[in-house]
Chains A and B, each alone.
Chain A
Amino acid sequence: MTASIAPALVDAAQGPALHIPDGFLSTPVAAAGYVGTGIAIAIAVRRTDSRLDERAVPLMGVMAAFIFAAQMMNFPVAGGTSGHMLGGALAAILLGPAAAIIVMAAVVGLQALLFQDGGLVVLGANIFNMGVITALVGWAVFRLLAPLQRWHAAAMTVAVFAAGWLSVEASAVATAFQLAISDTSPLDVALPAMFGVHALIGIGEGLISAAAFGFVLSTRPDLVRLQLGGGSSGSGGAAAEGDAALAASSMDRGTAAGILGVGVAIAIGVAFLSPLASGDPDGLERVAEDEGFIETAEDAWYEILPDYTIPGVDNEAASTIIAGVVGVIVVTGGVLLGARVRRRGTSSDPPALTEQA
């Protein structure tokens, strides 16, 4: 069942893959999207207001126009399809999460208002998926993996790639869940399909983000160094100061660990929900009933993992979930490594970037 929708979604992904139109989310889900986005934007506005003062509006406005343009630029993939980026992770890495959330909110909001790219009532959910989630996940992953560059110079590139890939993946998973809760798309189709398709799309996001970051690092290293050094070690320059203000709006690494911890917990929860569900139907069925997706849930869990046995890897749904678990483990490992480096590094200065390209 899952196999056939993927290519069609890849085609659709050239256009607005994650922009949910009106009518696809139930009213409670759409309202929840506005609540979540409202809180995130309120916090982001307060942080940027105090850190950025009067530079905030023109800088972030032009940056949002940049993300807009970057989303339009594409490269040929194969068979007439093309890849482009979402940009949330890159914006968060270069501008800090608070500024990135506002920039992405402006981008997604204008896309809905000007181009009917995504609905108006579901706009809250769309900003949450494509702006808040991508910015927070991308920034947290980068922040935790970047210190690994002490061991190997390429770690920085890998960190940006991972940030881009995971940000798209998290966004897609959130979209799938919202569609499922709204009874629009069954979870056992939407989740593997969105996860699988965006695993591929995320590679493009990761590659473009990593290359763009490398380019900025070699042409304007001041931006990136200030971002990582926490802003205080900046050596001056009027332009650099403005950028430092943008960069300084980022939270500290402990917050990053917190965000990622919660994310990893959710991811592991999702990945392992399936076997647990058929193992303990009583408790979980009630939850599913409360959430109103009991039908979908039953379908999913019995089809993906019938009788606790993990089917052959040729089963796409199962292999997607296995891949998901492996991905979670790899990221968790990376996070733990990062944390170790971080612990070791606390006694000395914050990690400085090498001047190489």
Chain B
Amino acid sequence: MIAREALFAERHIERDSLLHRMDGRVKLPAALLYIVAITLTNPAQWATLALLALPLLVVVAISQLPLLLVLIRSVLGFPFVLAAVPLMFTEPGEELFTLPLVGWDASVEGFQAVVTIFIKSWLAVLVGVLLTSTTSVGDLLRALRTLRVPKLLVAVVFFTYRYLHVVGSEGQRMMRARDSRAAEIEGYRSGGSLRWRARILGFMVGSLFTRSLERGERVYAAMQARGYDGESRFLTSPRLEAWEIAAAAAFVAYGLIVQFGMRL
């Protein structure tokens, strides 16, 4: 499901909106700082959360992204909320309800803590969705360079992105080949033992590894033939415009002012 989503995610990068036109070098730091502002929210600070959510609605509107896409992409990480649910029963406080059968007591404070974490996480993911569906990967990588991520790592990430779909579809072809050879008939036990199945997948992974390694060698040879000397060069970035910096700064300042102002 995640993989399928990945194929569609980039479709919307070519749209033209104010948010799309903004440089990744201001969008990435602004998004990170805004997520920090969201993360700092204490449990049950509903007003703070509401005020932090407000500008996101505006940004969604500006981005011209399909609302459904934004919503679907923002809920992909929801299963993880399970990690916070036990908090409901361990946080001391006023009793909310008792779970039947097991008899655990849920507290109001615990429940509020879980809901807060849930909303914080959702808002943060929303910021991430807005950033990544309006910024091209090249733009994001250039932003990483301005954030002082080592050049080697940025270059590797770029190559990973370049060969992601190549190696990925090679892997998918192997999966399809395996599935077409291993028919599943309802009511019959199909496939060998668990260990056997894991072993088959291991062989496929090993095969994909050697193929990828050889591909990497070919890529290197081809690059060398074209004059590659090991140095990764990045195109000079266009100058940042004043409105971009102002808009990003206002966005971050709003988040931090709300976060700390509401505590006074």
Q: A-side interface residues toward B, CB under 8 Å?
A: 1, 4-5, 8-9, 11-12, 15-16, 19-27, 30, 41-42, 45, 48-49, 53-66, 68-70, 72-78, 83, 85, 90, 94, 102-103, 105-107, 109-110, 112-121, 179, 183-186, 188-190, 204, 207-216, 219-220, 223, 239, 242-243, 295-296, 299
Q: Which residue of B lies closest to A56 (CB)?
A: B152
Q: Which residue of B lies closest to A48 (CB)?
A: B152
Q: Which of B39, B171, B213 sits near A23, CB closer than 8 Å?
A: B39
B203 at the interface (CB under 8 A from A): yes
Nearest-neighbour CB distance to chain A for B68, whole angstroms, equals 15
Taking a contact as CB atoms under 8 Å apart, the answer to whether A65 and B167 are in contact is: yes
For A119, list chain B residues within 8 Å (CB): 35, 77, 121, 124-125, 128
Q: Which 5 A-B pairs have the closest CB atoms?
A: A61-B159, A211-B202, A54-B230, A215-B206, A22-B124
Q: A19-B80, A23-B38, A211-B203 given as contacts; is B170 within 8 A of A69 (CB)? A: yes
For B201, list chain A residues within 8 Å (CB): 73-75, 83, 208, 211
For A72, list chain B residues within 8 Å (CB): 3, 168, 171-172
Q: Which of B84, B129, B167 sits near A185, CB closer than 8 Å?
A: B84
Q: Which residue of A lies closest to B35 (CB)?
A: A121
Taking a contact as CB atoms under 8 Å apart, the answer to whether A16 and B77 are in contact is: yes
| Dominant SS among interface residues on chain B | helix
Nearest-neighbour CB distance to chain A for B73, whole angstroms, equals 6
Nearest-neighbour CB distance to chain A for B141, whole angstroms, equals 9
Nearest-neighbour CB distance to chain B for A10, whole angstroms, equals 11
For B161, list chain A residues within 8 Å (CB): 110, 114
Q: A114-B132, A184-B117, A212-B203 given as contacts; is B39 within 8 A of A65 (CB)? A: no
Taking a contact as CB atoms under 8 Å apart, the answer to whether B92 and A295 are in contact is: yes
Q: Which of B84, B89, B168 sits near A69, CB closer than 8 Å?
A: B168
B257 at the interface (CB under 8 A from A): no
Taking a contact as CB atoms under 8 Å apart, the answer to whether B220 and A185 are in contact is: no
For A85, list chain B residues within 8 Å (CB): 205
For A183, list chain B residues within 8 Å (CB): 87, 113
Q: B-side interface residues toward A, CB under 8 Å?
A: 1-3, 5-6, 9-10, 31-32, 35-36, 38-40, 73-74, 76-77, 79-80, 82-87, 89-90, 92, 102, 104, 113, 117, 120-125, 127-129, 131-132, 137, 140, 150, 152-153, 155-164, 166-168, 170-172, 174-175, 191, 194-195, 197-210, 212-217, 219-220, 223-224, 228-232
Q: A1-B86, A23-B121 given as contacts; is B32 within 8 A of A120 (CB)? A: yes
Can you list 15 A-B pairs with a CB-CB distance of less than 8 A? A22-B121, A25-B39, A41-B150, A45-B153, A54-B220, A54-B228, A56-B152, A63-B216, A66-B208, A73-B175, A77-B197, A113-B140, A114-B137, A190-B83, A220-B213
For A45, list chain B residues within 8 Å (CB): 150, 152-153
Q: A1-B86, A42-B150, A210-B202 given as contacts; is B167 within 8 A of A117 (CB)? A: no
Nearest-neighbour CB distance to chain B for A53, whole angstroms, equals 6
CA distance A105 to B170 in the complex (A): 22
Taking a contact as CB atoms under 8 Å apart, the answer to whether A110 and B160 are in contact is: yes
CA distance A103 to B197 in the complex (A): 27
CA distance A42 to B151 in the complex (A): 11
Taking a contact as CB atoms under 8 Å apart, the answer to whether B117 and A49 are in contact is: no
CA distance A30 to B194 in the complex (A): 37
CA distance A185 to B197 in the complex (A): 34
Taking a contact as CB atoms under 8 Å apart, the answer to whether B199 and A55 are in contact is: no
Q: Which residue of B lies closest to A8 (CB)?
A: B82
CA distance A295 to B87 in the complex (A): 11
Kindly list 9 other residue pairs between chains A and B, CB separation below 8 angstroms, not including A16-B80, A63-B216, A109-B157. Answer: A19-B77, A21-B125, A23-B124, A58-B223, A61-B157, A62-B212, A119-B121, A120-B32, A242-B220
Taking a contact as CB atoms under 8 Å apart, the answer to whether B216 and A61 are in contact is: yes
Q: Which of A15, A57, A106, A208 sits near B205, CB closer than 8 Å?
A: A208
For A112, list chain B residues within 8 Å (CB): 128
